[in-house]
Every structure is written in structure tokens, then in C-alpha cells.
A and B are shown apart, each in its own frame.
Chain A
Amino acid sequence: MRSISFNTVKKKVKAAIMDAAFIAGDDLMASFRRALAEEESPLGKEILNQLLENAEIAKDKRIPLCQDTGLAIFFVEIGDEVKIKGGLLTDALNEATKEAYGDAYLRKSACNCFTRKNTGDNTPAIVHYDIVKGDKLKIVFCAKGGGSENMSRVTMLKPSDGRKGIEDFVVQRVWEAQANPCPPIIVGVGIGGTFERAAIIAKKSLLAPIGKRNSDPELAEMEESMLRKINDLGIGPGGLGGRITALDVKIIMEPCHIASLPLAVNINCHSSRHAEIDF
């Protein structure tokens, strides 16, 4: 067994959460520049320039890229030969969240559903675990804002709806969302599994670098086809009209029940903040 200390996990995760709030990823910045070159609308170009400037200010002055610093979401792959010494891994992630959101002056957005009373420290974090072979621990953090999350949907299609039904639902969802989720967006599509599994893989799909195509040729083609259709909607940066409504579309597909075709669309805003921490 390999032993990793609770405090090591907490410290590294805390630092990664803070950086993610202030520093836009290289893939995201490159996608803004590509979008700027392709955008035809003058207002759309203006918005994209503002996003580039926003990222520079955020990095230089350590001001969060967006005031919605999100709920803290973790995808954890833990090797079957790894033991966390000194406490529970879930507790380490929650403590890292609490300390990072407090010390870096990030917004605490977690609240009670009915009273709307804030939990005060942005916990509980949302944690998804996978147990894998080996002695490695991989933690991917993702800060997910409410505006784009609210525009996401899960649906149970009929198997006969097929690929066309999937594409139509995804494109229609983006159309209905309009300016709400802060376009240019990134669209995460989860196909298969069950009702809840589809949603989890849709969110997981958003973690892959922007512009990287699916390794499955059919899914890669579907990603491109949906991206084209979404960008034909004309919603544009900021929803003010233009060519670039989405920066990318990502798919994860898994087997499903013979009676079902589960589909989840998880929309991410352009402030796509995530960080990978490897132990």
C-alpha cells in the first residue's frame, strides 16, 4: 500500500482551487483567440476581446475570473493500493474547499434549498469517485457556476430517436438557453448509462481540453456536427448575435439499458475552470 497524508492532499487541492479561480487555462485562452479570428460580428469580437482582457486582469491582480466561483466539484480516481493517512479523503476535499474559498476571497455559493441560508464556507463539495488499479491518486477539481448549470438538462430518449434525436435535443437546449449560460459555451454531452450516470459523464466530458476531438471516430464526427449546428444558431458571444456560440462540444458515451437512451446536456460557461492534481 502507498500512503498519502491527509494534509498533503488538502494543501495541494487548496492551492489548485485558488489558481483555477484566477488563471484561465491555455486551451481556453487559445480557443478565445481562435474564436476572435473566426467571429464576424463586431459586437461578438468586442465581447471576446473583453474576455481576453478579463483573463489578463484576473491573473495579474488575482481577482476571480468570474464572481460566480462555483460549487466545488471533484472527480477522483483512487488506486486500490492507495491509503489516505490521517483522515477521510472526502473530508480533505471539503477542508481544502473551505480554506481555499475563505483565504482567496472566493464567493461562497452553497445554500439550503428552501431557506436559501448560505452554508458559509462553500461546502459540501460534490465528489465523484472511481476506484482504479494501482498506487496513484488523481483529483480533478472543477468550479461550476450556477448560470450555466441551470441551463443543463437530462432526458430519457427512445432508442428509436437515435443519433438524430440526440443532436436535435442538444442543439435545441442551446437554442433555448440563449444568452443565459454566458456564451461562448462548452457543451458536455453524456450519452448512455442510466438517468444519473448520463449526467455525471456529461459533466466529466467537460474536463477534456477544448479543441481535442473524441478518440472514437463516430463520436468525433458527432461532436463536430453538433458544434456546427450550434454555431449556426447565431446566438454568438454574450448572446448578442454572432458566429461563435460554442467553443466546443464534448461527448462521453457508455452502454445503456436495452429499453433506454439516456441523454444529458451539461452546459459550461466560457469561464471553464478546472485543475488536475496528481499524487
Chain B
Amino acid sequence: MKILKPPLKREDVEALEAGDKVLITGTIYTGRDAAHKRLVDLLDSNKPLPFEINGSVIFYVGPTPSPPGRPIGAAGPTTSYRMDAYAPRLIEKGLRGMIGKGPRDANVKEAMKKYGSVYLGATGGAGALMAQAVKKAEVIAFDDLGPEAIRKLEVVDFPVIVINDTKGNDLYIENVKKYKKG
């Protein structure tokens, strides 16, 4: 089991390999399609982003609303390919990690290799379990997007597995090959 404490340096993620189990402790940010579009629009118009992208980790999640007394509702990953159109721009700016589920496209994988970033898989549909690792949540941008607003999360021992490392390995492809019959 490896430990990651964002913000991350390039060498932190270069030390990871596809298949490594990782626990994240520290600050991560949430973002889905709508928030990603706005982040890229801000970059296009040379405006500052709502958080320091260099060294950051983005978790693709739209949590359920927080009930009274809890920091967050259910918080599992959403399908990542919807962010593929935007991710390379953020990786170029120093985004070191993305947490989601499902395969990424060739452009994202290429950007991960070129600029040093990893794709981390979280268990889809385990939103109640994953919420246990979230200790604090606060909306920091795009409040009007509701569940899709950008939240700053404080997590402790948030469990993920490295799907794509910086060397071009892909855990989904390698592991499915092992179990495919015929």
C-alpha cells in the first residue's frame, strides 16, 4: 500500500505503477463535465483557476447533498471518459492525479506520460463506503452547478488503485487480458 499526500510533485506520481494500491490523505478537488468545461474556458481566456491546479488531484464526483451533521452524502466516482475532452489541458498545467472509473482515451494517456500525471480508479457504486474517507467538504467554485460544483475535500486514507501510470501502462487492459477466454 502506498500513501499519497497532495499537493503532489512530478516525482511522486512517477514512482507509481499501474496496479499499485494507494491511500490518499489531504486535499483533493471535485469536478465533473460542467466544471471541467468552465475550467478550460478560464484557461482559454487567461483567467485564474479557482484552485492551484499544479500538483492537485481531481476526483470525478457529484456527491449527494450533505445531510445535517455529515460532511458529505454518498461520494463515489463518475465515469471518466466524459472528462477526456478537457483533461489534457489541465494535465499540461500540472494536474497530477485524476480519480474516476472507466477507461481514458489516447490523448489523456499521452498527456499523462508527457507531463507526469496518473489516473486512479475508485470503486464505482460504492458511494456510501467512500464517503467514510471524506472528513470535510466545502464548495469553492461554480455553486450554481449544484452537485457539479467544485468542492474542496479533506480526505483520510481514501482508497484508490493506479489504472494508468506515467509509463503508459493500463491496468484495465492488462488485467482483463488475464481473464478473457477465447
Contact = CB atoms under 8 A, between A and B. Distances in A.
Nearest to B124: A182
A206 B167 CA distance: 41
Nearest to A241: B175
B50 interface: no
B73 interface: yes
A59 B78 CA distance: 22
A-side interface size class = 35 or more
A105 B67 CA distance: 6
A180 B101 contact: yes
B106 interface: no
Contacts of B175: 41, 43, 236, 240-242
A207 to B, nearest CB: 19
A84 to B, nearest CB: 31
A262 B109 CA distance: 37
B14 to A, nearest CB: 23
Contacts, number: 162
Contacts of B101: 147, 179-180, 182, 238-239
Given A51-B126, A106-B64, A234 B76 contact: no
Contacts of B67: 62, 105
Contacts of B128: 54-55, 57-58, 61, 63-66
Interface string A157-193: 0000000000000000000001111100000000000
Interface centre among A47, A68, A108, A109 (most CB of B within 10 A): A68
Given A63-B131, A67-B64, A234-B177, A179 B75 contact: no
Contact of A54 (B34, B129, B147, B172): B129
Interface in B144-165: 145-147, 161
A204 interface: no
Given A63-B73, A179-B172, A243-B179, A54 B126 contact: yes
Interface string B64-99: 111100100111101101000000000000000000
B181 interface: yes
A225 interface: no
Nearest to B181: A232
Interface string B40-82: 0000000000000000000001111111001001111011010
A277 to B, nearest CB: 23
A41 B129 contact: no
Given A232-B181, A234-B180, A240-B171, A65 B125 contact: yes
Contacts of A61: 128
Nearest to A47: B123
A238 B79 CA distance: 12
A53 interface: yes
B116 interface: no
Contacts of A235: 176, 179
A66 B103 contact: no
Nearest to A48: B123
Nearest to A272: B125
Contacts of A146: 78-79
7 contacts: A57-B128, A57-B129, A65-B125, A67-B63, A107-B147, A108-B147, A240-B171
Interface of B: 34, 61-67, 70, 73-76, 78-79, 81, 101-103, 121, 123-129, 131-132, 145-147, 161, 171-172, 174-182
Given A63-B70, A234-B177, 19 more contacts: A41-B178, A50-B126, A53-B129, A54-B125, A57-B128, A57-B129, A57-B132, A64-B64, A67-B73, A118-B147, A146-B79, A147-B79, A147-B124, A178-B102, A179-B101, A232-B182, A238-B101, A238-B124, A241-B177
